[in-house]
Structure 1
Amino acid sequence: MDLDQLRYFLQVAREGSFTRAAETLHISQPALSRSIQKLEEEFGRPVFERKTRSVELTDAGQLLQSRAQQVLSILDDTKSELMDDGESGRVRIGAIPTIAPYFLPTVLRRFSQKFPRATVFVQESTTDVLLKSCTQGEIDLAVLALPVPAKYLEVEELFEEELLLVLPTDHPLVEKDKIRVADVEPFPFVLLDEAHCLSDNIVSFCRQRSFQPVAVERISQLAMVQELVSLSHGISMIPAMARQLDQSDRRVYRSFAGKKPTRTVAVAWNPYRFQSRLLEAFRECLRQ
């Protein structure tokens, strides 16, 4: 058994497919299949149950997955600790799509100016995927919005951010001096799909004010939500950081009167993994 075999095995387990894993690993599918076959021959037991278009872990495969993650994590941490000079190395960052393009560029620019020899990798995905990646050591930290349903991660709040009402320019609410939450109840909403926590923030805020927003469309990208609002498909709520980058004159942003909807942006990391000086420096950039 060698380390590449373990890495290949874990990638197939993540993808649930030899084809997709081979594409991600940039190796041929026959080479990947031979590597897994040798692993199974060494154990004398199959680690995958082959199906027509997918594979699933056997009981032996589930045990190997846990142990392989531990082995590779220990080796990665050892290498990081031995090479930790506080100036060079790798930092792997994850962020949810409603934060990554709006908040991270400034942080990444500041960090690269201060640590030009460091390499930063960025992964954009949903909260569930990032928390799993962070727990398993595939990324070093995740920038997301609370709440964070993770038992074994350290979570630090960074800041609270207002959610702004976004309207098409010809919407009747545009003319109101003050817009209260009750004013938006009759109107349909355009929301992100249920995989995105921003929709949970919006729905939770509305429910606390005794109404359920009616979503006429569910979208996977925040920019598309903004465009559909411009086309009068509905109204929505957008994080202030996204509004700051929006130069369009085809939609109007308003702050609610009274109690305002907000979300709390936080950073999460696995405290059981080695915490390099470079990683702490990146967290400090996030705090600033």
Structure 2
Amino acid sequence: MEISQLRYFLKVAEWKNFTRAAEDLLVSQPALSRSIGKLEDELGQPVFERQTRSVVLTEAGRLLQSRAEQILSLIEDTKSEITDDGRTGRIRIGAIPTIAPYFLPGLLQAFAESSPEATLTVQEEVTEKLLQRLAQGEVDVALLALPVSMQHIEVESLFDEELLLAMPAGHPLTSKKRIAVADVRPYPFILLDEAHCLSDNIVSFCRQKSFHPVSIEKTSQLATVQELVALGHGVSMVPEMARRLDHDPRRTYSSLSAPKPVRTIAMAWNPYRFQSRLVERFKDVTREYRFPAAV
């Protein structure tokens, strides 16, 4: 049994699909299938039950998944502990798409200034996928929005961020000094799809106000939401950090009347993995970093 076989096996278990796992691993699907086949031959029984478009773990596969995660974590942690000098090494940062393009550039620059010899890699994923990567040791630190449902993950709140009402320029609500949630009821809403926690934040806030936004369009990119707003397809709620980088005159942003909708930005990591001095330094920089004020 080889380490590469265990890595391949875990990736197929994660995606529940050979094609997608192969794309993630940057290997051909036949090579991946051969590796899993050899693993099953060695174990004497299948680890996956093949279905039409997906695979599911067998009982033996579930046991192997647990052991494989432990084995690979132990190998990675051993390497990290041996080479931990607090200056060099690699940190794998994960962030959700509604944080990554806005918050990460400045944070990574701040960390690079304090630790110029370190290597940083970034993975942008939706929350569920990011938490899986944390659990499997593929990400060292993740930046996401609360709530976080996965157990055995350490989470530290960093700051609250206001969600602003995004409207096309000239929208009737732009003339109001105070905009209440009730004022938004008549207008169609644009949301990110269900995979994004930002949509959960928005819907949860609206439900507290006895208002369920009727979504006419859904997309996977916040930039697309902003563009649809500019084109007059509807209104939306957008994080403050995204507004600060938006200088398009075709749309405008306003705060809703108190209590204002917010989301909590947090940092998460796997406490059962070795935390190198370099990772701890990154956490400290993240705690101290302040997003630049709007220009």
Q: Is the pair's TM-score, using the shorter chain for normalization, greater than 0.5?
A: yes
Residue in 1 that maps onto 2:250: 250
Give me the whole-angstrom Cα distance separating, in 1, the residues matched to 2:224 and 2:78. Answer: 43
Residue in 1 that maps onto 2:79: 79
Give me the whole-angstrom Cα distance separating, in 1, the residues matched to 2:189 and 2:54. Answer: 37
- Taking structure 2 as the reference length, the TM-score comes to 0.92
Give me the whole-angstrom Cα distance separating, in 2, the residues matched to 1:67 and 1:198. Answer: 34
| 1:52 CA drift (Å) | 4.4
Q: Provide closer, same or farther for how the CA distance between residues 48 and 210 of structure 1 changes in structure 2, counting only shifts above 3 A.
A: closer
- Asked whether 1:275 is paired with 2:275, we answer yes
Q: Provide closer, same or farther for how the CA distance between residues 126 and 23 of structure 1 changes in structure 2, counting only shifts above 3 A.
A: closer
Q: Provide closer, same or farther for how the CA distance between residues 191 and 32 of structure 1 changes in structure 2, counting only shifts above 3 A.
A: closer
Residue in 2 that maps onto 1:22: 22
Residue in 2 that maps onto 1:65: 65
Residue in 1 that maps onto 2:140: 140
Residue in 1 that maps onto 2:188: 188
Q: Provide closer, same or farther for how the CA distance between residues 27 and 194 of structure 1 changes in structure 2, counting only shifts above 3 A.
A: closer
| 1:53 CA drift (Å) | 4.2
Q: Provide closer, same or farther for how the CA distance between residues 219 and 20 of structure 1 changes in structure 2, counting only shifts above 3 A.
A: closer
SS in 2 for 1:242: helix
- Asked whether 1:110 is paired with 2:127, we answer no
Same amino acid, percent of matched pairs: 65
Give me the whole-angstrom Cα distance separating, in 2, the residues matched to 1:287 and 1:205. Answer: 26
Residue in 1 that maps onto 2:120: 120
Q: Provide closer, same or farther for how the CA distance between residues 232 and 27 of structure 1 changes in structure 2, counting only shifts above 3 A.
A: closer
Residue in 2 that maps onto 1:158: 158
Where do residues 251-266 of structure 1 align in structure 2 (5 Å cutoff)? 251-266=251-266
Give me the whole-angstrom Cα distance separating, in 2, the residues matched to 1:30 and 1:180. Answer: 57
Give me the whole-angstrom Cα distance separating, in 2, the residues matched to 1:181 and 1:26. Answer: 47
Give me the whole-angstrom Cα distance separating, in 2, the residues matched to 1:18 and 1:256. Answer: 46
Residue in 1 that maps onto 2:167: 167
| 1:114 CA drift (Å) | 1.8
- Taking structure 1 as the reference length, the TM-score comes to 0.95
Q: Provide closer, same or farther for how the CA distance between residues 258 and 34 of structure 1 changes in structure 2, counting only shifts above 3 A.
A: closer
SS in 1 for 2:121: strand
SS in 2 for 1:121: strand
Letter in 2 for 1:202: I
Q: Provide closer, same or farther for how the CA distance between residues 19 and 191 of structure 1 changes in structure 2, counting only shifts above 3 A.
A: closer
Give me the whole-angstrom Cα distance separating, in 2, the residues matched to 1:50 and 1:260. Answer: 49
Residue in 1 that maps onto 2:293: none
Residue in 1 that maps onto 2:291: none
SS in 2 for 1:218: strand
Q: Provide closer, same or farther for how the CA distance between residues 253 and 28 of structure 1 changes in structure 2, counting only shifts above 3 A.
A: closer
SS in 2 for 1:22: helix
Larger mean CA deviation between 179-188 and 273-282 belongs to: 179-188
Letter in 1 for 2:101: P
Q: Provide closer, same or farther for how the CA distance between residues 264 and 7 of structure 1 changes in structure 2, counting only shifts above 3 A.
A: same
Letter in 1 for 2:108: L
Gaps of 5+ in 1: none
Task: Name the count of aligned residue pairs.
Answer: 288
Q: Deviations over 1:73-127 (max 9, x none)?
A: 0110111011110011111111111111110110111112221221111111111
SS in 2 for 1:233: coil
What do you get for the CA RMSD once the two structures are aligned? 1.6
Letter in 2 for 1:276: S
| 1:33 CA drift (Å) | 2.9
Give me the whole-angstrom Cα distance separating, in 2, the residues matched to 1:257 and 1:23. Answer: 46
Q: Provide closer, same or farther for how the CA distance between residues 204 and 36 of structure 1 changes in structure 2, counting only shifts above 3 A.
A: closer
